[in-house]
Structure 1
Amino acid sequence: MFLYIFLIFFGISVAAGMESGITGGKEAKLHSRPYMASLQNNGHHTCGGMLIKRDYVLTSAHCLNEFTVDLVVVLGAHNISTQENSQQKINVRKYIRHPLFEQNNYSHDIMLLKLKTKAKINKFVKVMPLPKKNGKTLANMKCSIAGWGIKNPKDDRASSVLREVTLKLQENSQCKKKWQEYFNSDRMICSVSDGKDAFCQGDSGSPLICNTKPQAIATFTFDGDCTNKKYPEVYVKIGYFLPWIKKMIGKKLVI
């Protein structure tokens, strides 16, 4: 079987099935997710991310690609099309991709961005604590994800405002059955679209939040149809990569 994966940042589509942006859902309450980061290339939103330390953002490894000129991390934003007083724009000092990430194997699709300066913590910008261990996520659990990705699969424009959607987790066995070699049950989880709500292009790297805790990072969905009900949307599990994250930035994740 040949699948098409739609990578969920702007500008790339690869054979195998991947992409990302919030389709359906609703506009997020103003500054209700102060950990969210907009990754921008040449002033254009490309991916989401999460502030996990004042000078580190967690995102997807595939957000760094041949089209990347110089990523800028925008924190404290709601409307990325305007210059909000709450926004902090910080350049990236270092890109730390997981060493096992490969373009045709997204089970290690995770990356740390070392910022050039530390973020200023306030009511608009806050660090999101990571899970303490690699716990289990249950099928049918409802989780949420937010981002500035496209609102309509037929429209390639990013959303100006942060949008959020609630999605239901799928059984890993079903994820494996549909995605076969593209899904790794140890390192990945997936959610199922109801045909209306989904993440879509531009939402790669955005965190999946379950019971107020970040559990995973958005990676891919079906090419050309973010709301495809047959093929689940896929994420890499943050908990699985905790040892690597701690090794890269130190055990003290919140300061």
Structure 2
Amino acid sequence: MKSFRTLLATAAVLWAFVWPGDGIRCGQEAAVHSRPYMASVQEGGKHECGGFLVASQWVMSAAHCFRTEAKDRKIVLGVHSLSGQEDSKVTLGILAVYPHPDFSTVNYDSDIALVKLDQAVEQNDKVKIVAYQKAGGADPAEGEGVDTAGWGSINNRGSRPDKLQEVTVSVMRRTLCGRSDYYGKKFTENMICAAADCRDTCDGDSGGPLLYNGVVVGITSNGGKKCGTSRRPGLYTFISKFSQWVEKTMADNA
């Protein structure tokens, strides 16, 4: 007969596999092309990070998605199914990447980057720019619902979806996210902390948008080692803190 300790260990392993806090799995598949601003950052034809179109030749994403150079990195727009043959799919090269100069690899502070495409895109109902929050705008308050989307992992074993997923989470209390048993001093004024039940973003969703009333207020940045855990909610970069840098960067490199 197995010992009680062995039974507990077995139960813990089984629980790890069924635990529902596995990122966007707790959300749902987005309506086809309902988010025409979404971008897939790909390397060698494989999705690595998200992004979103903010101008005809510019995509906004997370700085940590571009820490290393990649000769075959592309930006894919107008896509819902990564593997599907969609007439709206546009694959573009990258002229330059502009990570924020204050980006920190220690805690992912200032985790924002601008990507200049190798050509301007023609907007249509499946490829379209999205508005982002400017300085002085009304950022969401504690308890407000915000939504995000991506092609990131649907569980903590790294399983990836083929079709775009979306989820709604709630902005959490800043003093809670800054507690030592949450993120402590790694949580800065440049970050939003958001989650709801098991709902969360996960690996591969980085760089995607966090929206409030249809306006992008944040960029998916990072979280705990496992997605959907109660004391490691998703962290997002406040765009309004960097909107002047965004506008200047795009203007200086037009």
Q: In which range does the TM-score fall when normalised by the shorter chain?
A: 0.7 to 0.9
Q: Report the counterpart of residue 237 of structure 2 in structure 1.
A: 236
| Structure 1 position 149 matched with structure 2 position 144 | no
Query: How many Å apart are 1:182 and its aligned residue?
Result: 1.4
1:1-255 mapped onto 2 (5 Å cutoff): 22-66=24-68, 68-134=70-136, 135-154=138-157, 156-177=158-179, 178-185=182-189, 187-195=190-198, 197-223=199-225, 225-250=226-251
Structure 1: distance between partners of 2:149 and 2:133: 18
Deviation at 1:84, TM superposition (A): 1.1
Alpha-carbon RMSD across the aligned residues, in angstroms, is 1.8
Q: After superposing the two structures, state which structure 1 stretch, 58-67 or 209-218, moved more.
A: 58-67
Greater RCO (CA < 8 Å, at least 6 residues apart): 1
Alpha-carbon distance between aligned partners in 1 of 2:32 and 2:68, rounded to the nearest angstrom = 34
In 1, Cα distance between equivalents of 2:233 and 2:116: 31
Name stretches of at least 5 consecutive residues in structure 1 with no aligned partner.
Answer: 1-19
Native 8 Å contact 2:40 2:77 kept in 1: yes
Cα distance in 2, alignment partners of residues 105 and 233 from structure 1? 13
> Which is strand-richer, 1 or 2?
1
Q: Distance in 1 between matches of 2:187 and 2:209?
A: 18
Contact 2:57 2:121 in 1 (8 A): yes
Could you tell me how far apart the structure 1 residues matched to 2:59 and 2:202 are? 20
Cα distance between partner residues in 1 of 2:79 and 2:139: 31
- Give the Cα separation in 1 of the matches to 2:177 and 2:213: 22
Aligned equivalents of 1:42 and 1:22: distance in 2? Answer: 24
Q: Distance in 2 between matches of 1:122 and 1:200?
A: 29
Asked if 2 retains the 8 angstrom alpha-carbon contact of 1:36 and 1:50, the reply is yes
Cα distance change on mapping 1:180 and 1:69 into 2, 3 Å: farther
Does the C-alpha gap of structure 1 residues 91 and 21 become closer, same or farther in structure 2, counting only changes over 3 Å?
farther
Instruction: Decide whether the 8 Å contact of 2:54 with 2:60 is kept in 1.
Output: yes
CA distance in 2, matches of 1:148, 1:174: 29
The AA in structure 2 aligned to 1:182 is K
Alpha-carbon contact 2:52-2:59 (below 8 Å) kept: yes
Single out whichever of 94-103 and 129-138 deviates more from structure 2.
Answer: 129-138
CA contact (8 A) 1:193 1:233 kept: no
1:192: how far off? 2.2
**1:27: how far off?**
0.4
Residue 7 (structure 2) aligns with: none
- Per the alignment, in what secondary structure is the counterpart of residue 249 of structure 1? helix
Identical pairs, percent: 34
Gaps of 5+ in 2: 1-21
Deviations 1:223-252 (A, max 9, x none): 0x201012221001011100100110139x
Greater fraction helix: 2
Looking at structure 2, the residues matched to 64 and 21 of structure 1 have their Cα atoms a distance apart, in angstroms, of 22
Q: Give the Cα separation in 1 of the matches to 2:134 and 2:115.
A: 21
For the residues of structure 2 that align with 1:234 and 1:168, how far apart are their CA atoms? 12
State the alpha-carbon separation in 2 of the partners of residues 113 and 105 from structure 1: 22
Displacement of 1:153 after TM fit? 1.5
Taking the aligned partners of 1:183 and 1:40, their CA distance within structure 2 comes to 29
**Partners of 1:128 and 1:63 in 2: CA distance:** 20
Aligned to 2:17: none
Using the TM superposition, give the Cα deviation of residue 21 of structure 1 relative to its aligned residue in structure 2, in angstroms. 5.8
Structure 1 residue identity aligned to 2:152? G
Residues 139 and 217 of structure 2 are in contact (CA less than 8 Å); yes or no, is this contact kept in structure 1? no
